[in-house]
Chains A and B, each alone.
Chain A
C-alpha cells in the first residue's frame, strides 16, 4: 500500500512538473508582444514604404509599447501601404497630429512603429488616421544613395 502511494505521488509530481514545463514553454518563450490590452481603439496610417513591418509588430511611444500592428496591406488606389494598428484604450490623449515612423530595434532587429507626440488639442480616437508618416529606411536604398553621392564626388 505504501509503495502504491509513493508511485502515485511520484507520477503526480512528474505529470504536474511536465505540464508546468509545457505551460512555461508556450507562454514564456513565444508571443513576443508584451502588449495584451483587451480594450483598444484602432488607428490607421499610410506609408510610402513599410520595409519589413509585419502584423503583430509593436507600436511604441517614448520607447514604451502602447499598441500592436493588426494589418499591413497595399492600397491599389492610392498606391501606398495602409497600416492598421490598435492602441490600448487607456492612452486616449495622444495628439492627432502625432507622427508615425517605422523604426528598427537594433541594427538588424525587427521593425516597429514609433509614435512621436504632436501638439494638437484633439486626440487620436477609434478610426482616426495618422497623417504625418515617415517610411522605413531601406538599407539598399541608403547604400544606393551613398554610392551615387560618392561616385559623383569623384567626378568633380
Chain B
C-alpha cells in the first residue's frame, strides 16, 4: 500500500516537473526568437520551407477529399429537409471553424512534427548538439528556435490553403456531381459566414501551430540519445500533439462561442 502511494506520488511529481520544464523551455524559445529573426532569417526561411512548402502536397490532397466528403454528407442529409442549398454554409463553417485548423494540425504533427523531432533527436544521438556547445554555439538558438518559428509561421498558411482546397472540393462534389445550384451554394455561404468565424479559424491555426511545433522540438530535444529513444520521441510527438490539439480545440471553441 505504501509502495502504491509512493508510486503515485513519484509519477505525479515527475509529471509536474516535466510540465514545468516544458513551460520554461517554451519561454526560452520565445526569448531567443526576436534575436534569431533579426540575425539569421535565412535559417527560419529554410524551416518554413521544410515545415510548410514540403507539407503542401499532403495538405492539398487531404483538403480536397475532406471538402468533398463534407459536400457529399451535407447534401445527403440536408436534401432530406429540402435544404441542399445550405450545403455551402455547412461545409464552409465546418472547414473554417473546426476541420481546417484541426485536421491541418494533425497532418502537420504527422508530416512536419515527426520530421522535426527525429531530426533533432538524431542530432542529439550523434552528439551534434554537444559539438555545437563545444564551439560555443547555443544549440537552442541555432537549431531549435528556427525550427519552432518555421512551424509557427507555416501553420496558418497551411490552414488557409487546406480550407480553400476543401471549399473547392465541396464545390466540385456538390455542384458538378450533385447539381446543387452554384449561386445558392456561394450566396448562402456568404450570408452566414462572418468575419468572426474566420478570426476564430486563424486564432486556432496559430495556437495549434505553436503547440505542434513546440511539442515536436521539445520531444526531439529531450529524446534519449539512442535509436530506440529517437523512435519513441517521434511517436510521442504525434500522440501528444494530437491530444493537445483536440483538447485545446475544445477549450478555444468554448471560450470563443
Contact = CB atoms under 8 A, between A and B. Distances in A.
Contact of B194 (A7, A24, A30, A110): A30
B11 to A, nearest CB: 42
A7 B146 CA distance: 15
Contacts of A10: 49, 53-54
A17 B45 contact: no
Interface in A1-49: 7-8, 10-11, 13-15, 17-19, 21-22, 24-26, 28-32
Binding site secondary structure of chain A: helix
B156 interface: yes
Given A10-B53, A14-B157, A26-B198, A31 B163 contact: no
A30 B52 contact: no
B96 interface: yes
A106 interface: yes
Interface in A81-132: 106, 108, 110
Interface residues of A, number: 23
A22 B96 CA distance: 11
Chain B interface, >50% SS class: helix
Interface residues of B, number: 34
Contacts of B202: 22
Contact of A32 (B96, B190, B198): B190
30 contacts: A10-B53, A10-B54, A11-B46, A11-B48, A11-B52, A14-B49, A14-B157, A15-B52, A17-B56, A18-B156, A18-B157, A18-B160, A21-B157, A21-B161, A21-B164, A22-B156, A22-B157, A24-B164, A25-B164, A25-B198, A26-B195, A28-B190, A29-B92, A29-B167, A30-B193, A30-B194, A30-B197, A31-B190, A32-B191, A108-B83
Interface of A: 7-8, 10-11, 13-15, 17-19, 21-22, 24-26, 28-32, 106, 108, 110
